[in-house]
Structure 1
Amino acid sequence: MEQEFSVTETGRLDHFLAMQLGVATNQALQCIKANCVWVNSKPCNKGGVKLKAGDVVVFTPPKVQAKPTCAPLDFEVIYEDADLLVLNKPPHLVVHPAKGVCEPTLLDHLKAKGYRLSTLSGELRCGIVHRLDKDTSGAIVIAKTNLAHAHLATQLKNKEMGRYYLAILSTPLNAPTKVECRLGRHPKNRLKMTNLDALRQEIKGGKWSKSAFMPLVTNAKGQQLIAIKLYSGRTHQIRAHLESLNRHIVGDPLYGQADSYGGRILLHAYLLYCIHPHTGQSLLFKAQILPDMLEYLQDNFQEVLWDGLLQERRIFDLFGADF
């Protein structure tokens, strides 16, 4: 539905639209670039356009084609209602279309199943509030409506929505550890992100990031299962933060070293909490560990009582979380 906003003070178009829609600035920018915004009855596709008091901004959500783009893929639905869809994403699956991505994505499969999703982030990112890396499995929440999308995006920004991960390290941490730094593109490897504050050379830019790492159990070979709490959600954040500690996740040749394990990176989004955008109810979702990672744990961490070790309340208490 078309929305009209009146400008009361000078500022950038993308910042103004983000505030009016209750979304992140980059989401507003995607809408602007998708030719969904008019300023004073003229189309505008540049987020940096300066607005002044008295200007009128009109926003029309992009139309999305509902026809299937690929054969549907089966995945575990953890929760679903008219506003939300929470999935246990399988590994080896990109979340949404992007430059250089040729294979079907999670979003393609959702469209193929006939899901109607939020259009707030444009056609290429319908319903996508947050992402998981291609080979990372676990909990991901999808917005079905624009109202739900805006509400969840605000929660993510305000830390009312959060995630806890599980990972298996090739070398153990000696103690609970936090990493807080500017995270940015690696100056020598553009495929990687890195802790800019830890580099010998001074590099400007980057974005604030913070993760907490909690050892859970260590096996005889020195491998360690850890829990991770995210305070921000940057690209490759967990992997780059661990690299700055000289620790690496099993199955991650980009940030670690080649190892005998031939599977995917053993990183799983285990718990996700948020507030329901319609009812205001606090929600907690658990994505069961998928068979490949569970098999690795059972083969390499014997005689561990997993139900007790990975109980939700225990994970929260370890981090001192107040959920």
Structure 2
Amino acid sequence: MERQDERYDLSVPTEGEAERLDQFVARSVQGITRSAAQRLIEEGRVTVDDRLEKPSLKLRGGERVVVTVPPPAPAVPEAEEIPLVVLHEDGDVVVVDKPAGMVVHPAAGNPGGTLVNALLAHCTDLSGIGGEIRPGIVHRIDKDTSGVLVVAKSDRAHESLSRQFHDHTVKRVYLALVYGSPREDKGRIEGAIGRHPTDRKKMSGAARHGKHAVTHWRVAARFTGVTLLRLRLETGRTHQIRVHMAEAGFPLVGDEVYGGAGRINNLRDPVLRKLIRELGRQALHAKTLGFVHPVTGEYLEFDTELPEDMARIIDYLERQGA
């Protein structure tokens, strides 16, 4: 099926300072850089109150901005010799421990250096279901989240794994450091998650048309100012853990998008603040992944250790005896 244009109908907030049109479009539409926003405006794909304008137009507030984004041009990612930590591989699946900082598949802002590029060099028999741009990919974890991920190497495996993820039968366990200390030792968060109503680069529980999302959590360790949580995903929505914990009042350490930026100033320990700044990402690790092998029917489970950057923070906190 031919992909259609995506249309975004946006309202400029009436509060705040005046903002350039290209800046507003880049901030409001996920995946659009400022240069891409300028191209869309110059191509006549952006209107302000039904008029074509220049990228430099100053928005005063209250305007209606309509952005039409064409589908991306088909792309064939290139194989790149990038080191991979392979936890398991057979003729149907490959399981890897993805490092933080690696994007899963190529996109407009990340054409290379992705997990897909690395896998294409590692194995020549990846499944092509879902389009050439993301061969073998049946689920994703964020660029700045580390941990275990399974990739299909055959069409049969792709179909089976996709069905397991759709049916929420895959075991997915994460470790996260959050600010604050939950009153209870465990809990369950349930609520729809969708695109944020005003900030299109974020997800939110306040979205008009969100998808059902459930996160189970329990305290693994309590420290002064921060808590280590073990979380199990019942569903797998985009940014689910980050949204659920932030909206519960416990944003992830290092998560500048969902409220974890300013909280660092509340920590009294200067060494801990330094370690968090050096982390440079949300403190989230996909620790465990369990699924039924798509061909043999055997249940497989893979468990990964915390990466060095998160482990360094935990080690320091444990040494403090807090």
Normalising by structure 1, we get a TM-score of 0.69
Question: Are 1:292 and 2:309 matched, yes or no?
Answer: yes
1:249 equivalent in structure 2:
252
**Any idea what the Cα deviations from partners look like across 1:184-216, whole Å, max 9, x if unmatched?**
1112222111112xxxxxx53111111111111
Shift of 1:236: 0.5
- Counterpart amino acid of 2:160? H
Task: Label 1:81 to 1:168 Cα distance change in 2 as closer, same or farther (>3 A).
Answer: same
Q: Aligned match of 1:178 in 169, 188, 211? A: 188
**Other structure's SS at 1:87 match:** strand
Question: Are 1:205 and 2:222 matched, yes or no?
Answer: no
**Other structure's SS at 2:182 match:** coil
**Any idea what the Cα deviations from partners look like across 1:258-288, whole Å, max 9, x if unmatched?**
2332212110001101001111001111122
Shift of 1:95: 0.3
1:275 equivalent in structure 2:
292
Q: Distance in 2 between matches of 1:230 and 1:248?
A: 17
2:202 equivalent in structure 1:
192
Task: Label 1:67 to 1:93 Cα distance change in 2 as closer, same or farther (>3 A).
Answer: closer
Q: Distance in 2 between matches of 1:257 and 1:278?
A: 42
How do residues 65-84 of structure 1 correspond to structure 2 at under 5 angstroms? 68=79, 70=80, 72-84=81-93
Task: Label 1:66 to 1:184 Cα distance change in 2 as closer, same or farther (>3 A).
Answer: closer
**Any idea what the Cα deviations from partners look like across 1:195-250, whole Å, max 9, x if unmatched?**
12xxxxxx53111111111111101x231110011011111010001111011111
1:49 equivalent in structure 2:
none
- Counterpart amino acid of 1:192? K
Question: Are 1:238 and 2:241 matched, yes or no?
Answer: yes
Instruction: Kindly indicate whether the alpha-carbon contact (under 8 Å) linking 2:145 and 2:285 is maintained by their aligned counterparts in 1.
Output: yes
**Other structure's SS at 1:254 match:** coil
How do residues 1-323 of structure 1 correspond to structure 2 at under 5 angstroms? 32-33=1-2, 68=79, 70=80, 72-175=81-184, 176-196=186-206, 204-219=208-223, 221-258=224-261, 259=264, 260=273, 261-262=276-277, 263=279, 264-302=281-319
Shift of 1:91: 0.3
Task: Label 1:244 to 1:65 Cα distance change in 2 as closer, same or farther (>3 A).
Answer: closer
Shift of 1:302: 2.8
Shift of 1:116: 2.1
- Counterpart amino acid of 2:130? S
Shift of 1:76: 1.3
Q: Distance in 1 between matches of 2:233 and 2:87?
A: 21
Instruction: Kindly indicate whether the alpha-carbon contact (under 8 Å) linking 2:215 and 2:232 is maintained by their aligned counterparts in 1.
Output: yes
**Other structure's SS at 1:125 match:** coil
Task: Label 1:82 to 1:303 Cα distance change in 2 as closer, same or farther (>3 A).
Answer: farther
Q: Distance in 1 between matches of 2:142 and 2:155?
A: 24
Instruction: Kindly indicate whether the alpha-carbon contact (under 8 Å) linking 1:88 and 1:288 is maintained by their aligned counterparts in 2.
Output: no
Task: Label 1:207 to 1:138 Cα distance change in 2 as closer, same or farther (>3 A).
Answer: same
- Counterpart amino acid of 1:193? M
Shift of 1:296: 1.3
**Any idea what the Cα deviations from partners look like across 1:269-320, whole Å, max 9, x if unmatched?**
011010011110011111221111111110122388xxxxxxxxxxxxxxxx
Shift of 1:112: 2.7
Percent of matched pairs sharing the same residue: 36
Q: Distance in 1 between matches of 2:163 and 2:109?
A: 29
Shift of 1:67: 5.5
Note the residue ranges of structure 1 that are not aligned, 5 or more in a row: 1-31, 35-62, 197-202, 305-323
Instruction: Kindly indicate whether the alpha-carbon contact (under 8 Å) linking 2:77 and 2:112 is maintained by their aligned counterparts in 1.
Output: no
Q: Distance in 1 between matches of 2:136 and 2:241?
A: 24
CA RMSD of aligned residues (A): 2.1
Q: Which moved more, 1:234-243 or 1:153-162?
A: 153-162
Q: Which moved more, 1:255-264 or 1:92-101?
A: 255-264
Normalising by structure 2, we get a TM-score of 0.69
Instruction: Kindly indicate whether the alpha-carbon contact (under 8 Å) linking 2:75 and 2:133 is maintained by their aligned counterparts in 1.
Output: no
Shift of 1:159: 2.3
Q: Which moved more, 1:126-135 or 1:72-81?
A: 72-81
Instruction: Kindly indicate whether the alpha-carbon contact (under 8 Å) linking 1:156 and 1:162 is maintained by their aligned counterparts in 2.
Output: no
